[in-house]
Structure 1
Amino acid sequence: MQTDEQRRLLGAFVRARRESMAPAGASRRRRTPGLRREELADLAGIGTTWVAWIEQGRDVRASAPTLARLAVALRLSRAERDYMFALADRRDPDLTPAFPAEAAPPALAAAVEALPWPAYGLDPAWHVCCANAAARALFVGLFDGETQPNLLHYMFLHPAARALLPDWHARAERLLSEFRHDYGRSLADPRVRAVVERLRADSTEFASLWERQAILAHEGGARGFDHPAGGPLNFFQFTLADVERGDFRLVFLRPA
């Protein structure tokens, strides 16, 4: 629900961007800076009244396609476009992930390597796109023979996961509920759908839990492991969104 403050900020932003743009054609003196409202409206393919109402902060609720055309006309950068859509409380229709997106973003990979504790990165399909040595040692079997291991495949299909996690059922249920939280934003990614379809076919437990429609946020918390070499290990897990790609995740486990 868009607030009055969001409408005010949106109007001020659109007006400031319009006034910063040079009009096309020969330069000439004007009483007002930048483009006129009717010129911006013509570039965006929308009515001049709509531009005026948006700039005035009125409760007009411009549609996402209207805002997309306005963003193009204003020549907004990616960051500026994100800001405008956030203020408008609309989802950007052009905000689609670039496929394939298998490599870890540089900031995520650097953070994983810098951490002294087990840490790994997840892409939108929950493939482990990067992991440090501590994570590879902790998650027995996850990286065996896998060029791109998947955390959900490991949890539901690999026997090592059941041996490693003393509370396997509760952890599996939570993991799937957290994945479902991300799933709605990644439906356009065929790799995400492929993960779900494989697990529904190969794991009756996954299929049953999937039908429950349970959703949980990435809250972290205490995590216990029964490691074959290290014995009982206890950590506190943290999950963060990547700063470069919001659909990637940084997960690390600090010893408890």
Structure 2
Amino acid sequence: MDEPSIDTGTGASDSQARSVRRRALGEFLRSVRARVSPESVGLPSGTRRRTPGLRREEVAQLCGISVTWYTWIEQGRDVSVSAGVWSRLATILHLSRAERHYLFELAECADPEHGREHDEALPQGLAACVHSITAPAYILDRCWNVLARNEPLLRLFDGWPDRSAQPNLLRYIFQDPAAKQLVVDWESRARRVVAEFRADAAPYAEEPDLRLLIDDLSQSSPVFAHWWTRQTVVEREGGRREFRHPDMGIVHYQQITFRLAIRPDCKLVMLLDEDSQG
């Protein structure tokens, strides 16, 4: 059985923000605990209950932690809880995907189940959304595989990603010679791309498909291998992008990236033509 530990540190604003999150977390757990019936978790329902839902001691027993520890969590006390415990709580309390995400956000902990949605097909509505965008646009998953793209993107990239059965932006940048011709200042962009990908891939670091991709890129591209070992991390901030198109010449775009609420492992990337912006 796991045992609690209490953080006695006293940071100023960080400590206050953490306290607010912990209180919100405790209130959330009390609320969802009240709606879970004993029968739904395999407990007898014969005894009368003064309040609906599961008792604290029942949740603690099912989760494999002490009642004291679980009580502290609901009270909003600053206790150290492993990802496995949060995951068991999410299962026991029958949390929806959105509720589970909310739980781990408040707990400031990486969800061990994060990324399992990667195996699900992209919802049809998302692909339709991409095709309705007039600017070049595409959706990337956690490995930067292209799951959807529109015709403007296809024209800008001169036929890619349709040239590949499983298009991947990293493979294009580091393995396709066409990328060096299309992307202006390719060396600089390639360096930043590696740092962006490292930050992006952190929650999935131990996933086999991600490891295979990194290993393959490290073996096939000395540039990727060089920058990957530098441990540089930056956010995918977007900004100005320049391309040397064979027909359109030098074109300039502003890149904007959105996280998708219904597929947190994916992001929608849009390239807005600078010349058409007022």
TM-score, structure 2 as length reference:
0.83
The residue aligned with 1:66 is 85
Distance 2:118 2:102 in 1: 24
**Larger displacement relative to structure 2 (81-90 or 183-192):** 183-192
Partner of 1:218 in structure 2? 236
- CA–CA distance in 2 between the matches of 1:98 and 1:21? 25
RMSD: 2.2
Within 2, Cα distance between the matches of 1:144 and 1:26? 58
Partner of 2:249: 231
Offset of 1:207 from its aligned partner? 1.7
**CA pair 66-136 structure 1, distance change in 2 beyond 3 A:** same
CA drift of 1:99 comes to: 5.8
Q: Which residue in the other structure is 2:11 paired with?
A: none
Residue 115 (structure 1) aligned with residue 130 (structure 2): no
**1:32-71 superposed Cα distances (whole Å, 9 cap, x missing partner):** 3333222222232322212221121122222222222222
Q: Please report how far the alpha carbon of residue 27 of structure 1 lies from its aligned counterpart in structure 2 after TM superposition.
A: 5.4
Give 3-state SS (helix, strand or coil) of 1:20's partner: coil
Match for 1:244: what amino acid? Answer: I
Tell me, yes or no, if the aligned pair for 2:260 and 2:266 is still in contact at 8 Å. yes
CA contact (8 A) 1:241 1:248 kept: yes
Residue aligned with 2:268, SS: strand
Whichever residue aligns with residue 228 of structure 2, its letter is W
Q: What residue number does 1:22 align with?
A: 37
For residue 188 of structure 1, report the CA deviation from its aligned partner: 3.5
Determine which of 15, 27, 46 is the counterpart of 1:12.
Answer: 27
Q: Which of 53, 56, 59 is the equivalent residue of 1:37?
A: 56
Matched, 1:187 2:205: yes
User: Who is 1:53 aligned against?
Assistant: 72
Structure 2 residue corresponding to 1:173, chosen from 191, 195, 206:
191
Mapped to 2, the partners of 1:241 and 1:141 lie a distance apart of 26
Q: Partner of 2:5 in structure 1?
A: none
- Alignment partner, residue 10 of structure 2: none
User: Matched residues in 2 for 1:163 and 1:67: separation?
Assistant: 48
2:161 to 139, 143, 153: 143
Q: Distance in 2 between matches of 1:97 and 1:152?
A: 21
Match for 1:3 among 14, 18, 22? Answer: 18
Contact 1:44/1:72 (<8 A) preserved: no
Instruction: Report how many residues are paired.
Output: 255
Does structure 1 retain, via aligned residues, the 8 Å contact 2:36–2:94?
Answer: no
Give 1:38's aligned amino acid.
Answer: E
In structure 2, relative to structure 1, the CA distance for the partners of 1:104 and 1:8 (3 Å cut) is: same
**Structure 1 position 206, deviation (Å):** 1.8
Is the contact between residue 117 and residue 265 of structure 2 (CA under 8 Å) also seen in structure 1? no
Alignment CA distance shift 1:187-1:30 (3 Å):
closer
Indicate how the Cα distance of structure 1 residues 168 and 16 shifts in structure 2: closer, same or farther if over 3 A, else same.
same
* TM-score, length-scaled by structure 1: 0.89
Q: Is there any run of 5+ residues in structure 2 with no aligned partner, and where? A: 1-13
The one of 182, 185, 208 aligned to 1:164: 182
Q: Secondary structure at the match of 1:185?
A: helix
Q: Is the 8 A contact 2:217 2:225 kept in 1?
A: yes
Unaligned runs of 5+ in 1: none
CA distance in 2, matches of 1:26, 1:220: 55
- Tell me by how many angstroms 1:192 deviates: 2.2
- One-letter amino acid of the structure 1 residue matched with residue 29 of structure 2: V
